[in-house]
Structure 1
Amino acid sequence: MELYTVSLPASLHASVDQLTKLLTEQAIVDLHIDSNAAQSAIVEFIQISEHDIRCQARFPQFQLKVHGPAVYKAASLAIAEFVVSELEPAMLASIIRRKYRNHMPSEAAAIERYCHDLLHGKEWDGLGAKFHEADRLRRKNKVASEVELFLQEHTQINIKGFTSFRLEPYRKELAEVVEYALDEYVLDKQYQEFISLLKYFVFLQDTKLSMVHLLHKGAYDFMLYDESFKQLDPNPPTDRIVAEMLETEMNIEDMVISSLIAVSPKHITIHTRQPDMQVIRTIETIFDQRVTVCVQCAACNSSLDELVQP
């Protein structure tokens, strides 16, 4: 007895084995089948073509009233896993092409990378893997709930048609991810252009000091010293245009860059225990070869250890 048949588009025929495996493994879990026994005692999965998989009941062991709900539940979870893991990137790419067809291909590819980072945890690294896993599970459950309802009334499910014309809550969420990714892409692009402008301004400036030391106390707290380790004014007067640019474009914690531009040193030594911090990387980008990053040296070893915030 046919319970349901899943059809993949011809372009995904290479993924039939993967989907069959997901359907089989989920059935083993939801039907409480001993994986060491003959798993076909209740249901079996047959690839009836290059892109069609049929789930058949095995009698007399299978009982529709007893096993039917678990079979469809297992199928919905397996298909949802397949959609999220295998089809989600292509669905995002399709949304981007449709909504932003006037963008350059390189920009569309960049937006896709931003979407990937958002959906796979990079944006939320500080919250840990649990947030990423919970977010993915929520998307998967959105798909699974609609697949389960569909299979209760239909024995044929075409994955391409289903993902194109059903799954509205899921597709709407992906469209929102694309919108957010585009905003992040535009903001980052503007910021990079701004950093390039600052870098060009620094290049044109005459140097005022031969050397400065920048001690990083922790977080966004810095102290500025001259070459003799005499503390400098943390807010020296700077060029009016640059000051206005920094005030409007940069966060208040990044204003240390304003101080460095104001004193216009020939060389900067940054003493820090966090060399990979974004603000330090930004300073390296703007001042380029003028910057040396020190994580431990004789000049700052004891003083920096005293200053660094716990």
Structure 2
Amino acid sequence: MLLLSLGFTSDKCDVYEKINRLSSGFKDKGINIKFVENDDGRMHFIKCFVKDEDSLSCDLKDVKRRFDVHAANLIYEIIIDNYQMDIINRIIKNNYYYLKATEIGEISKKCADVLTGANLNTNENYMAFISMKNTIINKVHEYLSENTDIMIDGFLRFRLKDINMEVNEIVDRVVEEYLIEKEYNEFIKLLKYFVEIQESRIEIVNIVINIDGSYSMYDDNLNRISGEALKELIGDGLDGEQNLDDLLVSSLITMAPMFIIIHNAANIRNKEIIETIKSVFSDRVKICSGCDLCLKRNPAHKF
């Protein structure tokens, strides 16, 4: 009994490890599957048959149903492993042709990570991965339930046209994230340069993060740096409209201290602010693991 005739571009796919894995799983259940291969020069075909049908203790239709479930997952892996980069690169080159080759390469890799589940650092990426996987597997399984012959190139072109919309959405989001990250990195680079060329106005700034998440600053003698003291240090550079995070970063950049010590870091509400300070000031930043200022002088006053 023919279970599957799988056609694919011969110079594109290496499916043998996947086919052997599928065969081994059925062999463990007492069902032997044999393969017949042929090549017409451009396309390669693998046909899967049930071997020794007469000796089977289970119904052939049941074998086909079970085989189709596993084959759908196998074909999904082939599509993701061998065809996804062509789809991604085509979309990027059509929609974002103005990007540099290096940028296209980085974005393609990030998109591929989402589609393979290798980079699910956000809920959106996780949902995109699950949606894409379910869409492909369900459509392949639906097709195999009525057919034994499937040519992957043609199936992608005619049966999975709608996945291009999902891939488009993934590419758009990854490009947006990439450009935001690039803009952020360029901004950090500019701030680093500004800090490096500026003369330090104070040697040490101790940042104490209070229990409520607000910040207090002290100099190297553990004297509180108040709003008035800040004005003396940095002049009129403070904007009354700034939020606390912006005020902290802009104050530090203007003062350009030689060292920054952050106390009670666990109280921070916005975790990214510490990463921003580290990015701008690099090895000038130290995280205190416990001192008198942390343990005994965790003050209530705020900015």
Give the TM-score, by structure 2 length.
Answer: 0.75
Report if the CA contact (8 A) 1:139-1:170 is conserved.
Answer: yes
1:189 equivalent in alignment to 2:178:
no
Give a deviation string over 1:228-253, Cα, whole Å, max 9, x none. 11222369456777859x95xxx864
Report if the CA contact (8 A) 1:16-1:53 is conserved.
Answer: no
The Cα of 1:153 is off from its aligned counterpart by 4.3
RMSD across aligned C-alpha pairs, in angstroms? 3.7
Structure 2 unmatched runs, 5+? none
The Cα of 1:135 is off from its aligned counterpart by 5.8
The Cα of 1:271 is off from its aligned counterpart by 3.1
Report if the CA contact (8 A) 1:23-1:79 is conserved.
Answer: no
Q: Secondary structure of 1:6's partner?
A: strand
Q: Which residue of 2 aligns with 1:140?
A: 133
The Cα of 1:263 is off from its aligned counterpart by 3.4
1:1-310 correspondence to structure 2 within 5 Å: 1-13=1-13, 15-24=14-23, 28=26, 35-36=27-28, 38-40=30-32, 44-49=33-38, 51-58=44-51, 59-60=53-54, 61=56, 63=59, 65-85=61-81, 87-116=83-112, 118-119=114-115, 120=117, 122=119, 124=121, 132=126, 136-217=129-210, 221-233=214-226, 236-237=230-231, 253-273=245-265, 277-289=271-283, 291-296=284-289, 298-300=291-293, 302-303=295-296
The Cα of 1:77 is off from its aligned counterpart by 2.6
| Alpha-carbon distance change, 215 to 186 in structure 1, aligned in 2, over 3 angstroms | same
- Percent identity over the alignment is 24
Give a deviation string over 1:2-36, Cα, whole Å, max 9, x none. 232112212234x221230354366x3xxxxxx53
The Cα of 1:209 is off from its aligned counterpart by 1.9
The Cα of 1:64 is off from its aligned counterpart by 5.3
The aligned amino acid for 1:57 is V
Q: Distance in 1 between matches of 2:78 and 2:59?
A: 27
| Alpha-carbon distance change, 184 to 101 in structure 1, aligned in 2, over 3 angstroms | same
The aligned amino acid for 2:45 is D
The aligned amino acid for 2:37 is I
Q: Distance in 2 between matches of 1:67 and 1:221?
A: 65
The Cα of 1:49 is off from its aligned counterpart by 3.5
Give a deviation string over 1:90-135, Cα, whole Å, max 9, x none. 533343234323321110122124324545364536x7xxx94x76
Structure 1 unmatched runs, 5+? 29-34
Report if the CA contact (8 A) 2:203-2:220 is conserved.
Answer: yes
Q: Distance in 1 between matches of 2:87 and 2:76?
A: 14
The aligned amino acid for 1:207 is S
Give the TM-score, by structure 1 length.
Answer: 0.74
| Alpha-carbon distance change, 252 to 188 in structure 1, aligned in 2, over 3 angstroms | farther
Q: Matched residue pairs, number?
A: 285
Report if the CA contact (8 A) 1:5-1:157 is conserved.
Answer: yes
Report if the CA contact (8 A) 1:22-1:78 is conserved.
Answer: no
Q: Distance in 2 between matches of 1:25 and 1:64?
A: 18
